[in-house]
Structures are given as C-alpha cells and as structure tokens.
Chains A and B, each alone.
Chain A
Amino acid sequence: MTHAATVHSLWTTAAAAPDKIPSPHVEYGQLSPTLIVLGAAIVGVLVEAFIPRRQRYVAQLFVSVVALAAAFAAVIGLAAGGYGTSKARVAAMGAIAVDGPALFLQGTILLVALVAVFTFAERRLDPVVHGNRVDSFAAQAAAVPGGDAEKAAVKAGFTTTEVFPLVLFAVGGMLVFPSANDLLTLFVALEVFSLPLYILCALARRQRTLSQEAAVKYFLLGAFSSAFLLFGIALLYGYAGTVSYSGIADVVDGQVRNVTPALAGTMGNDALLLIGGAMVLMGLLFKIGAVPFHMWTPDVYQGAPTPVTGFMAAATKVAAFGALLRLLYVVLPGLRWDWRPVMWGVAIVTMLGGAIVAVTQTDVKRLLAYSSIAHAGFILAGVIATTPDGISSVLFYLAAYSFVTLGAFAVVTLVRDAGGEATHLSKWAGLGRRSPLVAAVFAVFLLAFAGIPLTSGFAGKFAVFKAAADGGAGPLVVIGVISSAIAAFFYIRVIVLMFFSEPRTDGPSVAVPSPLTSSAIAIGVAVTLVLGVAPQYFLDLASQAGVFVR
C-alpha cells in the first residue's frame, strides 16, 4: 500500500483561508442536572477555601444536599417534559444523550448520592474526641497514621470536609457516564468520577493504612483499566474515523461505503473493531466489577471508609451499567453475534464466581463485596437479553439493588467495638438478641440480596431473568438461579448467626446514629419493601424509559 502518496488531501494541499469556526450549540437546560452538581462541587471547593473551619461542615452539607435535590428535581422536570420518551435527543453537539435510560439512571444516581451524603455526614457513631464530634474520615489525610501530626490534627478537631465536593465531582462524572454519546465523553466522564473515588478511598479515620492500601490498589488497577479503555477508543476511532456512537454504529452496520483509498487499511477493518470493542468493554467491566476484572473489588470495599464503600458500590455500578448498556445497544448492536458469547461467559463466571467465593468470607464488608460481584453477574444476564425488556429490567434492578447496598453498608457502620467498625462476622454473632431492630433491618437487606419474594431483590431478579429467558438466554437463567441459591446460603447463614447464636461477651455494641444515618437506613428499607411489594409502577416507569436515542 502506498499510504504516503495517497494521504488525505487535508494534509497535502495548503488549506484555503480557514472558515470561521461556528460556536458550539449547547442545550444548557437539558444538561442542567450535571451542571448543577458540578457547579455545586465548585462552590464546595470555594467553601473549603474561604469559610472558617468550624462552619464548613454545615455549609458543605447544605450545598451538597441542596444541589443533589435540585439536580434530581431537574431530572424529574426533564422527564416530565417528555425528554425521556418522545423528545429524547442528543444534546451538546452530539456529546450527551438525553433519553429515557439516561434520565432514569441519572435520577437513580442522584437519589443514591443524596442518601449517601447523609451517611457521609454522620457524626455520632465515633466517640467524641477532645470535645469534637468526628465522622468516618481522617482528621488530616496528609498526616502519617499514628504520627505526631495526626495527633495534633485530631486534637485540633480537624475534619476532612473536602469529602462533600469530592462526592459531588464523582456524582457529576457518574451523571455524564451513562448519557455519554461519544467515546471521548465516555472516557472523560470515567476519569471525572474515578479520580475523586480514589481519593475518598484513602480517607478512613480508623485503620488508615488499610484504607491507603485500598486506595493504591484501586488507583493503580483503575488507571490500568482506563488505559485499556482509551486504547480501545483509539482503535475504534481508527476503525470508524469518528468517536460518536452513531457514527461508529453506521460503520459497523456497513452504511458508510465511500472509503478513501488511503483508509483501506484502517477504516472498516474488523480487527480494529473487534480488538477495540473488546478493550472498551474490558474497561467498563472493570468498573462494574465483573469476573475476571473483579480483583480490586473485595480489597477496595473492605479498606475504604464504609460510607464511601456504600456510595461506590451503589452509584458506580449504576453509572457503569448505564454506559455498558448504551455501548452494547447503540454502538455495537451490529456486532451482537460477536459480543454475546463473550458476555455469556463473563456473566456465568461472574455469577458463579461471586457467589462461590462469598461463601468462604469472614468479613462482612468483603462478603458484601463478593455479593456485589454476583449481582453484577445477574444484571449482566439482563444486559445480554438485547431486547427492550432487557434494558428496562436492568434499569429496575439497578435502582432496587443500589438502595439495598447503600442501606446494608449503612448498617455496617453502626456495629462497632473499641477499634471502630466490627466487620468480622464472628463479632456479629447474637446481634439479633442485643439489638433486634438493627439485626432485623440488616436481615431485610440480606433477604433482598438473596431475592426473597416481597423484597425488591426478588422483583429485580425476576425481571432480569425473565428478560434473559425471553431473549433466548435460557441456560444463563438456569445458572443464575443456581448461583442465587448458592448466594442465598451465605445470606441466610449471616441471619442465622445474628439471631440464633449466643452473643459474645466481648461483642460489639450498636451505636445510636443521628437522624442522618437513621433516615438513610429507613429510606433503604422503604425502597426495598415498596419495590418488593408493589413493583409494577416502577417496572412501568423503567419500561417507558427503556429506549435509547441514537
């Protein structure tokens, strides 16, 4: 091939006088949820810079809650305005899709973040130190654990109120992630929500070395996976000559035929498409925590401060599944026969792997981490369905699952002994006799994880497996039910441990939370039961929202 002789004319001829570059047209109203959250995050940074230390906590909490509530109201407004259904469109010069799945997932992420901010702000669980109420976050993250600087910071009553702007930045990225309509936006959104999460992981007040270790692992593996994602994007760009979803989909479908001779080696080259698509999928599956890209999940979930774990487990999964759905349904539907077998394999090993390894766990946070891996597998079964029902069942499952997770991790923050949270399962023995209410609430969440009827877990699993079976993935459903049964074993085991074994004399006590954590847990229970008892309204909502714009 003589590429050198036939490169595109843009490079060889002196271009004529450049035309005026038209200014981009941005639909600010349709992007308002994201803009509100990111704007509030910047306000949070300014609060950190200009407001006295004593007043920052209240100011930050106020800014975060108001911004998340306002952004949620904006999502509702857009959905009521028909942007989820008839007026679904691509905004911001093709960078962002405003459609049903995007709005549904944005609403879910915002509600999850709002509840998570309550658990972040909790200040009554840890004992009072030097007359100051403290939260789950380090007094000063830069101080060496156990060193003089840390002692001085604790004595001075410092708190890391930066967590609130960090959460808002992460939420801003997560809002863009499922609605990204080109691969560049996808990558930037991925980094915008990942980078604050890496920092948040390192900020635990107790067991700081563990927390820092979790952050290093998450950061290195996260950066590694996003490099794969980026190289995949490069290859897809080489394949299609564009990074917009619809542009790539057109080339995949063979609708673009006027290939210049210079591009004969790249454009429409299937090797580029397959390798690039696989690498982008790899990056997304890492964020989802699907086997074999799950290795970071248990360590990071265990080491990170528990409120952060809850937020991460719920919101990251929602955002990443949204992006995965859009990629598979909008960009690569023409490649369905290639990616379906791969995703089958991933879903099977994820469901079975997560459920089987969870049985051997002795730490409640690690147990929930492996359970989240197994749930990623169940959701993948719905993704594979490639039907409208598949989309809506995944949306419903994500909404149901995220609140159960958030509530479960909020309960974990309550069970404490002298060293902070008592996460070893042996310490949970007999909890039901000592604090029946907390144990009962945790049991509700575990039953929802296990998919017992009258909880949201059952409605979600039923919807996902039904969609998968209708979509021709019967064997997958059988394996899903088997791994649900395995998973139910260890959830029930924890319930038995809590209610039917003698409490240990040196066992943990249950801290009395402030209304912040109480309301977070109450919302978790309420959503779990409402979605379990009367799921139809929300299933309808999800199925109305289940059409991607292209």
Chain B
Amino acid sequence: MNPVNYLYLAALLFTIGAAGVVIRRNAIVLFMCVELMLNACNLAFVTFSRLHGNLDGQIIAFFTMVVAAAEVVVGLAIIVTIFRSRHSASVDDASLMKL
C-alpha cells in the first residue's frame, strides 16, 4: 500500500482531535482529543521515517510517547483536583474569571 495514505490518515486523526478539542466540553474528553492529536503526530513521524529511510522519525515517536505519558500525569492530576472541588469536569463551568 502506498505509505502516503498513512499521512492522510494522520492528518485526518489530527483534525478529528482538534475538532474535538474545540467542540467537546468535558475536560477529560478534551484531554483525550489532545492525546489523539499527539498520536496522529506519531503516525506521521513513523510514516515519514519510512518514506525517508532514516530512523529519526521512529525515535521521535518514542519521545512523543514519553512526553504524552508525562502530560497525562500532570493533566489528570489537575483535572481530578478541579473535579473534586467542583463536582464537574465541564470546562464551561470553569468560568470564574470571565469578564
């Protein structure tokens, strides 16, 4: 199969993730959409790595996974704290500072 198709898939996944961040309102779902975007990046890296015939892209994919894991730790901690104090993870409820 033509490897370029994987790039289209990556772009599609990235777009779905970005649209999800804009449309959805639950912080956890937003966060999952961001993770989808990061995984779309990984797919793009691995595909380009195959196209170019060097291993840089695959190494970067590993780094991305580690960074995504670190981001999960920090992000879930923050979302859980705000859920415990408000009993809601909706980002629309978090509007104390709106003018």
Contact = CB atoms under 8 A, between A and B. Distances in A.
B75 A223 contact: yes
A239 to B, nearest CB: 9
Given A199-B77, A237-B45, A220 B50 contact: no
B9 interface: no
A213 B14 contact: no
A418 to B, nearest CB: 19
Given A141-B81, A213-B94, A216-B82, A227 B34 contact: yes
Contact of A7 (B40, B53, B64, B67): B53
Interface in B28-85: 30-31, 34, 37-38, 40-41, 44-45, 47-48, 50-54, 56-57, 59-60, 63-64, 67, 70-71, 74-75, 77-79, 81-82, 84-85
A230 B30 contact: no
Nearest to A298: B97
Interface in A218-239: 219-220, 223-224, 227-228, 230-231, 233-235, 237-238
> Which applies to chain A's interface (DSSP): helix, strand, loop or mixed?
helix
Nearest to A196: B74
A169 B30 CA distance: 26
A47 interface: no
Given A220-B34, A223-B31, A302-B97, A191 B70 contact: yes
B16 interface: no
With most chain A CB atoms within 10 A of its CB, the pick from B3, B10, B40, B53 is B53
B34 A223 contact: yes
Contacts of A191: 67, 70-71
Interface in B1-19: 1-4, 7, 10, 14, 17-18
Interface in A1-17: 1, 3-4, 7-11
A216 B53 contact: no
Contacts of B82: 209, 212-213, 215-216
A373 interface: no
A184 B71 CA distance: 16
Given A141-B81, A219-B75, A234-B44, A263 B97 contact: no
With most chain B CB atoms within 10 A of its CB, the pick from A191, A210, A262 is A191
A537 B52 CA distance: 49
Given A188-B63, A212-B78, A302-B97, A230 B41 contact: yes
A287 B48 CA distance: 27
Given A8-B51, A215-B82, A217-B94, 11 more contacts: A7-B50, A198-B75, A216-B78, A216-B79, A216-B94, A219-B78, A220-B31, A220-B91, A227-B18, A238-B47, A238-B52
18 contacts: A4-B2, A7-B51, A8-B52, A141-B81, A191-B70, A195-B70, A199-B74, A202-B78, A209-B96, A212-B82, A227-B18, A228-B37, A231-B37, A231-B40, A234-B10, A234-B45, A237-B52, A241-B52
